[in-house]
Amino acid sequence: MFSTSKPKLILFLLILFLGCSKTSDNQNYSIDCPAANRTGAICNDGTKSTATGTGACSTHGGVKYWICK
C-alpha cells in the first residue's frame, strides 16, 4: 500500500526542506548590533522590518534580532 507513495513522500519532504532552507544572504543577525550597522530587524512575532532605530517593531512585540551589515 505504501510502497509507491513512500518514495514520493520522501521526495516531497526533501524538496520542501531544500526550498525552505535559508540560503546565504550575507546578512548577520544579532541582538546587540550597533545602530550604524543595522539594515533592519526581525520582530518578536516573526515579521521583518526595515526600521533600524527606536520604535522598530513597536507594534510587533519588539525586536528579536537586528539585521546587520
pLDDT tens column, 2-11: 556 778 887 7
Which helix (H) or strand (E) segment holds residue 48: the answer is strand 48-49
pLDDT higher at 32 or 7? 32
11-21: average pLDDT: 62
Give the closest residue to 26 by CA, choosing from 39, 36, 16.
39
Cell of 30: 544579532
> Where do runs of H (alpha helix) occur along the chain?
5-20
The pTM score is 0.61
How confident is the model at residue 46, as a pLDDT? 95
